[in-house]
């Protein structure tokens, strides 16, 4: 199965990954127990003492700049990463050099899990905008999960969600029209922003139209036409990357009904 992640309603210069830079601590850190995303991330269900144990293995460093790589396809797997702010895209490159975007990742979401069974990252992760990251060395996380059953269960929930998202993405690409795919994509983002305390109807797209098309298996021209059609039908307003969902009920119906995170 293709390594795809849709969080269903989920630098250009330089060649090194960012793992080393993330080891540098800064004076303005937000620790797990103080983080507003704790209820959506690994600390879910942990008490303060257990949260401190998790926090002790987390590495934080300077933010990634737009276009900077967190890791690259084929790099040795050492850590998983939680997005603290900003957004990432993950993508793989085929033997023929073709890029396939496999996911967009928002704050509280984990990236890098696909390397667990191969010892290398199966895709690259690149910042779409200025992005802050928590690095969690996997060996230490694995050891800690053996000691903390709640943490182990949360890891299993996250991996289960990954499997579910893969199946939903395959269904999206195989059965839905262009309008349905983009409606699903927008409803998905709406749900994810809402879960993080932001507006469900007004948000900014971190990704380009070209990235959206690549992810959904559509030509960029098709993406632009669908956005224009949605505006003419009073489903959305779009100004550059700014989106305002005018008719969320109709957009959700076009996406196939109620979407769950």
Q: Compute the distance between CA of residue 97 and CA of residue 114 in angstroms, rounded to an integer.
A: 20
* Averaged pLDDT of the chain: 82
Is the pLDDT reported for residue 12 higher than 80? no
- CA dihedral 11→16→22→25, nearest 10 degrees, is -100
Do 180 and 217 have their domain in common?
yes
In a domain, 31, yes or no: yes
CB contact at 8 A, 200 and 39: no
Query: What per-residue string of b and e applies to 172-198 under the rule 16 or more CB within 10 Å gives b?
Result: bbeebebbebbbbbbbbbbbbbebeee
Q: Collect all residues with Cβ–Cβ distance below 8 Å to 28 and sequence separation of at least 6.
A: none
Q: Is 7 within the bounds of a domain?
A: no
Report the distance separating Cα 74 and Cα 118, nearest Å.
10
Q: Are residues 29 and 70 in the same domain?
A: yes
Q: What is the pLDDT of residues 223-243, one digit of tens each?
A: 999 999 999 999 999 999 999
Q: 25 or 45: whose pLDDT is higher?
A: 45
At 44, the pLDDT band (50, 70, 90 cuts) reads low
Work out the angle at residue 145's Cα, subtended by the Cα atoms of residues 81 and 16, and round it to the nearest 5 degrees. 25
Q: Is residue 112 part of a domain?
A: yes
Q: State the distance between the two ends of the chain, measured CA to CA, in whole angstroms.
A: 21
By CB atoms closer than 10 A (0-12, 13-18, 19+), residue 94 is: exposed
The 242-245 sheet, strands edge to edge: 202-204, 242-245, 236-239
Model-level pTM?
0.80
Q: What is the mean pLDDT of residues 160-177?
A: 78
- Which of 118, 135, 165 finishes a domain? 165
Residue 171 within a domain? no
CATH number of the domain where residue 207 is located: 1.10.10.10
Residues 6+ apart with CB under 8 A from 119: 76, 77
Give the distance between the most distant pair of CA atoms in the chain.
Answer: 56
Give the model confidence (pLDDT) of 19-41 as tens digits: 333 333 343 355 665 565 555 56
> What's the pLDDT score for residue 139?
92
Residues 240 and 139 in one domain: no
Identify which of 235, 230, 186, 242 has the alpha carbon closest to the alpha carbon of residue 212.
Answer: 186
* Residue 2 pLDDT greater than 70, yes or no: no
**Buried (b) or exposed (e) across 46-57, using 16+ Cβ within 10 A?**
beeebbeebbeb
* Domain assignment of residue 50, yes or no: yes
Tell me the residue range of the domain where 244 lies. Answer: 176-255
Report the number of distinct structural domains present in the chain: 2
Instruction: Report the DSSP beta bridge partners of residue 137.
Output: 79
Return the H-helix or E-strand segment holding 53.
helix 48-55
Position 16 in a domain:
no
């Amino acid at each position: 199965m293709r390594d795809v992640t849709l969080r269903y309603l989920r630098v250009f210069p330089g060649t090194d990954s960012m793992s080393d830079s993330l080891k540098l601590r800064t004076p303005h850190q937000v620790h797990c127990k103080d983080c507003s995303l704790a209820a959506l991330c690994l600390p879910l269900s942990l008490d303060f003492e257990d949260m401190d144990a998790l926090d002790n293995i987390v590495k934080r460093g300077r933010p990634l700049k737009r276009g900077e790589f967190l890791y690259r396809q084929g790099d040795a797997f050492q850590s998983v990463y939680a997005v603290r702010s900003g957004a990432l895209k993950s993508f793989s490159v085929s033997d023929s050099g073709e890029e396939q975007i496999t996911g967009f990742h928002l704050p509280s979401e984990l990236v890098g899990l696909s390397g667990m069974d191969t010892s290398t990252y199966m895709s690259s992760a690149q910042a779409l905008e200025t992005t802050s990251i928590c690095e969690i060395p996997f060996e230490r996380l694995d050891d800690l999960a053996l000691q903390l059953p709640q943490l182990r269960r949360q890891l299993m929930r996250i991996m289960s969600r990954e499997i579910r998202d893969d199946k939903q993405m395959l269904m999206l690409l195989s059965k839905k029209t262009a309008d349905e795919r983009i409606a699903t994509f927008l409803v998905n983002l709406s749900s994810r922003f809402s879960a993080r305390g932001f507006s469900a109807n007004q948000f900014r797209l971190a990704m380009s139209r070209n990235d959206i098309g690549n992810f959904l298996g559509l030509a960029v021209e098709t993406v632009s036409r669908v956005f224009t059609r949605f505006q003419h039908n009073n489903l959305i307003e779009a100004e550059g990357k700014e989106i305002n969902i005018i008719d969320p009920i109709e957009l959700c119906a076009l996406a196939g009904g109620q979407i769950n995170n």
